[in-house]
Structure 1
Amino acid sequence: MNIKRRLKGKSIIPWLFLTFLTLLAYNLFPRDRGIAGLLLEGKVHQVIDGDTIMVILADGREEKVRFIGVNTPEISGQVQPYGLEAKAYTKKRLDGRRIYLELDTAERDKYGRLLAYVWLERPQNKSLPEIRAKMFNAELLLEGYAQVMTVPPNVKYAEIFKQLEKEARNARKGLWGL
């Protein structure tokens, strides 16, 4: 009865509004949810350039995905050397293919693109041999279509990527042979 007397004449609307604002704020900041390591399944339906693709996720959402840790030569504006080759390689390897996207600490870049490591097959242990064989970001580096681009806080494979780029440089593969 004491509770009823205290609530009598007082509206619960401010409390409901405060609860709504709290839930809204939580959903506006997805980076704070511990997304590192999350694996999303999808299908590539468009290749934008050598390091950016459009993917339809398993839940039906469409996402523009930017590959983490690598940078291919640009093709928008003034085309950079090996930019068209990098796009063609990405298109040949990924267009229409089922892939797995591994997220790191930051979910999106300043342009709203989903940031991901792209796996050609579902990873089992993420060992160095598996990264070399199944991760497309690593493949771009090994074949000389990309160079390392580390943007903290997404640095999970940064040291491995540096090693792979060095191998491609030493072998003068792709853009390193120009």
Structure 2
Amino acid sequence: MPRTRPRFAIRMRVAAVAVSLSAALGGCALLADVTTPTTESDERATGEVASITDGDTLRLVVNGEELRVRLTGIDTPELRESECFADEARDALAALAPVGSRIAFEYDDERRDQYDRELMYLYAADGTFINLALVEGGYARELHYSPNYHYRDQIESAEAAAQAAAAGLWGACS
């Protein structure tokens, strides 16, 4: 038999798996396209979500160590101060990064804030850029932490679109 035949069979299997995954994921692929950064790293570190603190803060277990994580580039209403849409923002983060799920993360230039929390961009298993998705849904505002500007343009654009659509806090809070 010619050598190309096994390669052809492998290619056909790979294509079949790709088609099956595309069909199974359906609309998820569309969301991932919208919320995936244009400059993304091929390999990111991962951790397991231990708990959700509020809409922009969670605890993540990485290599056996529990880290306090602040999502960089965004700000959500504060639960402690009972700000409008704080509960919804926390629930949105919990839906995007459920406790027990594995999520990927990356740092920008500055890795910690003044409260010694890790500043991270987070990604769900399906590729959804969580920080951006929260802004797109109107659960968060853009807030850059100098010098962390890597996705600032995307986050600012998402905020403008959410404001224009009166999405989330932009429609519910005055």
- TM-score, normalising length: structure 2: 0.71
RMSD: 1.8
- Say which of 145, 165, 170 aligns to 1:171: 165
Deviation at 1:168, TM superposition (A): 0.8
**Pairwise CA distance, 1:92:** 2.4
The runs of 5 or more residues in structure 1 that have no matched partner are 1-35, 124-133
Summarize deviations over 1:67-89 as a string: whole Å, max 9, x none. 0100000011x210001111111
User: For the Cα contact (< 8 Å) 1:72–1:145, is it kept in 2?
Assistant: yes
Distance 1:166 1:141 in 2: 9
Per the TM alignment, residue 122 of structure 1 is displaced from its structure 2 partner at its CA by 7.7
State how many pairs are aligned.
131
| Deviates most, 139-148 or 164-173 | 164-173
Structure 1: how far apart are the matches of 2:45 and 2:126?
10
**Mapped partners of 1:67, 1:175: distance in 2:** 18
- Distance in 2 between residues matched to 1:37 and 1:159, nearest whole Å: 21
Please give the residue correspondences for 1:71-86 in structure 2 after superposition, counting only pairs within 5 Å. Answer: 71-76=75-80, 78-86=81-89
* Structure 1 residues 160 and 144: alpha-carbon distance in aligned structure 2, compared to 1, 3 A threshold: same
What are the superposed Cα offsets for residues 56-114 of structure 1, whole Å, 9 maximum, x if unpaired?
11x111101000100000011x2100011111111122122110111011111111100
Whole-angstrom CA distance in 1 between matches of 2:149 and 2:162:
20
- Give the number of the structure whose alpha-carbon radius of gyration is greater: 1
Farther-moved stretch of structure 1 (159-168 vs 91-100): 91-100
Segments of structure 2 that go 5 or more residues without pairing to the other structure are 1-40
Q: 2:52 aligns with which of 23, 47, 51?
A: 47
C-alpha distance in structure 1 between counterparts of 2:147 and 2:134, whole Å = 21
Alignment of 1:1-178 (within 5 A): 39-57=44-62, 59-76=63-80, 78-95=81-98, 96-121=100-125, 134-178=128-172
